[in-house]
Homo-oligomer: A and B are copies of this chain.
Amino acid sequence: MKMSEGVEWALHSCVNLAWSGPDRAVSAARLAAWHDLPAAYLNKQLQALARAGIVTSAPGPRGGFKLARPLAAVSLMDVVAAVEGPEEAFRCAEIRQQGPGAGAPAADAADCAIAHAMARAELAWRKALAAQNLDEIRQQAERQAPGAPARLRAWLAAP
């Protein structure tokens, strides 16, 4: 079980967009170059964020991506769901209803105990993700590297 690389890229990109300022759109190529990532693939992840309503996109020169709403209104869960998709990690295949061990019809209606337990654990994960928003991430990152926002803005201003 491995999470997509795109999640980390998308999260960093959101923080970078916040640092770049709310007025200026940044292209996928520029965001990718900042961390030496494949530009076209990062673009794919940003498209997912745009579909989820986390960022807005504009084509043409001076186009690019902007945050659709303040970082405080974007949770980790939003980004993970946008990039990874809404499906749960554990999908019950209902193997208990296959082969000679197929249960009685009465048991079929009830939820599989295993699926229920796994879903409960996954819900805890989702709640923990939803409880943290990107603004908290940004604040912590700024405490660790106070000069990062200024450096990014200076680099973006240079051609």
- Verify A121–B114 contact, CB threshold 8 A: no
Contacts of A95 in B (CB 8 A): 8-9, 12, 35-37
Cβ-based interface call for A124 (8 A): yes
Tell me the bound Cα distance from A155 to B117 in angstroms.
27
Contacts of A15 in B (CB 8 A): 114
Tell me the bound Cα distance from A122 to B124 in angstroms.
9
Closest to A115 in B: B8
Stretch of A51-59, A61-69, A138-146 with 4 or more beta carbons under 8 angstroms from chain B: A138-146
Contacts of A25 in B (CB 8 A): none
**Chain A 80-120 interface residues, beta-carbon cutoff 8 Å to B:** 84, 87, 89-93, 95-96, 98-101, 103-104, 106-107, 110, 113-114, 116-118, 120
Chain A interfacial positions (CB closer than 8 Å to B)? 1-5, 7-9, 11-12, 15-16, 33-37, 76, 84, 87, 89-93, 95-96, 98-101, 103-104, 106-107, 110, 113-114, 116-118, 120-125, 127-129, 132, 136-137, 140-141, 144-145, 147-148, 151-152, 155
Tell me the bound Cα distance from A123 to B128 in angstroms.
9
- Verify B117–A132 contact, CB threshold 8 A: yes
Shortest C-beta distance, A100 to chain B (Å), equals: 6
